[in-house]
A and B are shown apart, each in its own frame.
Chain A
Amino acid sequence: MKTVIVYKWARNPEDAAVRADGTVDWRNARMTAGEDDFAALEAARAIAPEGELIGLTIGDGDASWALARGVLQAVAVTDAAPLADNAATAAIIAAAIRRIGGVDAVVIGDSEEYSGVPVALAGLLGWPAVAHATSAEAAGGRIRVVRKQGRNDQTISLATPAVISIAAASPEKKVPGMKELLAARKRPITRQTLADIDAAGPDGVTTKGTRLPDGAAARLFDGDPANAARQLVAALRDEGVL
């Protein structure tokens, strides 16, 4: 099953510092893959044999992330700027997938911050989709996924071509070492521009700035532990929760 694993290579939001005035300082943010992307790659591997798996990333990112994890070939759309409109981001990915051609399955990380990208991508391709799955496998020309729904696990089967977005259950356990990174350098990356793939959608959404959320701050007790503990117990009794 010809499968594309889509991954994000972008500044790590965890490294972004929020200033007292609510603006965001990205200067110390390292580039990283999406938190769910390694789990998406695992699921893609379960669907596709090695030779049928293609990595795809957009932006000026380091396309070798997938190559260092055993994917044999990758495509990078190098001039895609970060966009606030998830449908516009998805339109670029969709164009790249159409250009690859003959794709049976797209597997993509279901990131919290960009939770519109996988579903807009499915919509633009017009393919059936399941979001927030935890695993996937190929089953008789179809794809079978498992997804947690409330307190249940659902097993769902989809016809191909299909889009599956995957949510990681934990951080990546085995990060590639130097040997894998060196091997990755020898593997082919196809670099394309937006013009090459006919994707020039403008960002339909403009940002007007950021601010701090208003929510009331916690009532903090500090100093002498015995005293702080007494005050906390009294407060919790007042709340009626003890």
Chain B
Amino acid sequence: MSRTWIIVTEEKPVAALAAAARALGKTVAAVVVGPRALADAAALAGPDEVTWIDAGQDRGVEAFAAPVAGLIAGDAPKAVLAGASPESRVLAGRVAATMSASLVPGVLSLSMAEDRIVMDRSGLDGRVIETLEAAGPVVAIYAGDDIPAATERSGAGAAVTPLVAEGVADIVIEKTEPAAGADAGITKAQVVVSVGRGLRKKEDLSIIRDLASAVGGEIGCSMPVADDLGWVEKDRYVGRSGQHIAPRLYIAVGIQGAPQHLEGIRGARIVVGINNDPEAPIFKASDYGIVGDLYEVVPALLTALCN
């Protein structure tokens, strides 16, 4: 029985990758590129076998694309899954090329239909799910939610076999330093009240501040409020190019809910949208919402919170 392979360069998605691979009903083999600790963590997160390539200190993980591709292509699997991080993706691209496999990004789940791989994939920024079928081997870039590794596992997890890599590319990490705004208050806040272009003028920020202090939260915003308008500090905007945050409560006030904004709050537990447009995409990404004018709703919330 051949294996289904997973490509691992960070700990977060391993359990979900292993579970998605498991659905294809074969042995799940992981190749881990990184430090030993990552291989050990991966071994506990679900795969049956782990091959570990030590990436060392200064090499980019991407430098190991050729050995990873050689290892996996040599096994001729029907399916390979990789996480969506840039490093994992580069490895996946080389694997697909070496195996002459199809490469499909955004994959949420896989199954077999006779000898074909069937995939559900997130499309149009999450607005649809597309079902795809592949005739030949597939490398899937997995985009489903992370899941925690099972805590009570019997035994010590999969065995870790080191592999000495050959054909390592010349990709060198010159330096790593904290990104600007990496320690901004918003990054650790449990509650964030975020404001968008629904706000008419800078002075009106005071009602957003009042709401933030009433719920014990920090102020955040959408990109244009910080970038174009300059009403809020740049290290407080949330989204793809801004802060990625995981508060227990995120209240989006007068924010449309653009996909680039939503990328920043994937880890939030409860999302609340306040918007006067019932069709605003923020409501698709929210747990709760109030359809109404923020200039009426925010003061009403302040009153309700006092009781």
Contacts and interface: CB of A to CB of B under 8 A. Distances in A.
Interface of A: 13-14, 16, 18, 22, 24, 84-88, 90, 110, 112-116, 118-124, 126, 128-132, 144, 147-149, 151-159, 165, 167-170, 204-213, 215, 217-222, 225-226, 228-230, 232-233, 235-236, 239, 241-242
A211 B296 CA distance: 37
Overall SS of chain B's interface: mixed
Given A123-B95, A129-B93, A236-B249, A86 B103 contact: yes
A13 to B, nearest CB: 5
A235 B249 CA distance: 12
B127 A156 contact: no
Contacts of B90: 119, 122, 129-131
15 contacts: A13-B125, A86-B104, A116-B105, A119-B94, A120-B96, A123-B97, A130-B62, A158-B170, A158-B172, A159-B170, A167-B241, A208-B132, A213-B126, A215-B284, A218-B286
Contacts of B180: 153
A232 B301 contact: yes
Contact of B133 (A18, A206, A230): A206
Contacts of B223: 170
A128 B105 contact: no
Contacts of A157: 171-172, 174
B141 interface: yes
A230 B171 contact: no
A106 to B, nearest CB: 13
Interface stretch (B48-56, B146-154, B198-206, B269-277): B269-277
A151 B178 contact: yes
A170 B289 contact: no
A149 B179 CA distance: 9
A16 B284 CA distance: 17
A170 B227 contact: yes
Interface of B: 60, 62-63, 65-66, 69, 84, 86-87, 89-90, 92-98, 101-106, 118, 122-136, 138-139, 141, 169-180, 182, 187, 191, 215, 223, 227, 240-241, 248-249, 259, 269-270, 272-273, 278, 283-284, 286-293, 296-297, 300-301, 303-305, 307
A22 B303 CA distance: 41
A135 to B, nearest CB: 12
Given A85-B103, A149-B176, A233-B301, A213 B122 contact: yes
Overall SS of chain A's interface: mixed
Given A84-B104, A236-B272, A226 B303 contact: yes
B182 to A, nearest CB: 4
A152 B124 contact: no
A34 to B, nearest CB: 13
Nearest to A91: B97
Given A116-B139, A221-B290, 11 more contacts: A22-B128, A116-B89, A116-B105, A131-B86, A159-B171, A165-B86, A168-B241, A169-B241, A213-B128, A218-B283, A221-B291
A108 to B, nearest CB: 12
A18 to B, nearest CB: 5
A228 B172 CA distance: 55
B283 A144 contact: no
Contacts of A88: 102
A122 B60 CA distance: 15
B98 A123 contact: yes
B86 A130 contact: yes
A124 to B, nearest CB: 4
A22 B123 CA distance: 11
A130 B86 CA distance: 7
Nearest to A202: B135
A154 B96 contact: no
A234 B118 CA distance: 43
A209 B130 contact: yes
Given A18-B127, A144-B174, A225-B296, A220 B290 contact: yes
